[in-house]
Amino acid sequence: MTRIALAPVLGYLIIEEDFNVALGVFALAGLTDLLDGFIARNWANQKSALGSALDPLADKILISVLYISLTCADLIPVSLTYMIISRDIVLIAAVFYVRYRTLPSPRTLARYFNPCYATARLKPTFISKVNTAVQLILVAASLAAPVFNYVDSIYLQILWCFTAFTTTASAYSYYHYGRKTVQVIKGK
């Protein structure tokens, strides 16, 4: 919930070009993500279906807001942001489709949108995990660029290209390995 709440704050700070504070808030969002994962892995009674649904949603919201804001601030190219958000929209649509196909009758809206009623689990591919890390590194580097005065760095431009490559590879991996990344949960 903290990352979802911090997303518009980060967007505002970036649009207002308050990059010092935005970098700190981004670090706070990262810490809450690490803490959330640590707690979920180490205390089984702290895991919940709602948390399992909110965690990837919070990541998508945060990444989308950050990339759109950084693009508006001319720190990330429009084409890269378009590529990243398009991939995420296709993945979200695929999740909705899988949810529909795995939900037993009667298929009601209440059951469809109930995160406590899990019917399938999406297992991220290795390249998708790498892509997420690369995207977050690019966000951190882009937020830090105006603070440390390296906005026009060739290294930042190379990171744009690498992010585009991993985003494309990740999208392809889901297309190619589609069925292998989805685990249907029986007995629901």
Q: Determine the Cα–Cα distance for residues 92 and 95; give it in Å rounded to an integer.
A: 5
Per-residue confidence (pLDDT) for residue 50, from 0 to 100 = 66
Regarding predicted confidence, which is higher, 92 or 115? 92
Q: How would you class 51 by CB atoms within 10 Å of its CB: exposed for 0-12, middle for 13-18, buried for 19 or more?
A: middle
Task: Return mean pLDDT, the chain.
Answer: 89
123 pLDDT band (50/70/90 cuts)? Answer: confident
Per-residue confidence (pLDDT) for residue 131, from 0 to 100 = 95
pTM here is 0.86
The token pair at 34 is: 């690490």
Per-residue confidence (pLDDT) for residue 96, from 0 to 100 = 85
Per-residue confidence (pLDDT) for residue 5, from 0 to 100 = 92
Nearest to 3 by CA among 24, 19, 26: 26
| Cα angle value 93/99/102 (rounded, 5°) | 140
Q: How large is the average pLDDT for residues 1-13?
A: 93
Other CB atoms within 10 A of residue 102 CB = 16
**In one letter, which amino acid is 21?**
V
**In one letter, which amino acid is 167?**
T
| Range scoring the smallest mean pLDDT among 7-21, 26-40, 80-94, 141-155 | 26-40
Segment holding 96, helix H or strand E:
helix 78-102
pLDDT at 71 over 50: yes
Nearest to 170 by CA among 70, 99, 90: 90
Per-residue confidence (pLDDT) for residue 188, from 0 to 100 = 47
Q: Determine the Cα–Cα distance for residues 43 and 153; give it in Å rounded to an integer.
A: 43
pLDDT at 49 over 70: no
Give SS3 for 121: strand
**Among residues of the chain, what percentage have pLDDT more than 90?**
55
Q: Determine the Cα–Cα distance for residues 123 and 55; give it in Å rounded to an integer.
A: 14
Regarding predicted confidence, which is higher, 101 or 77? 77
Regarding predicted confidence, which is higher, 177 or 141? 141
HSE-CB at 53 with a 13 A cutoff on CA atoms is 15
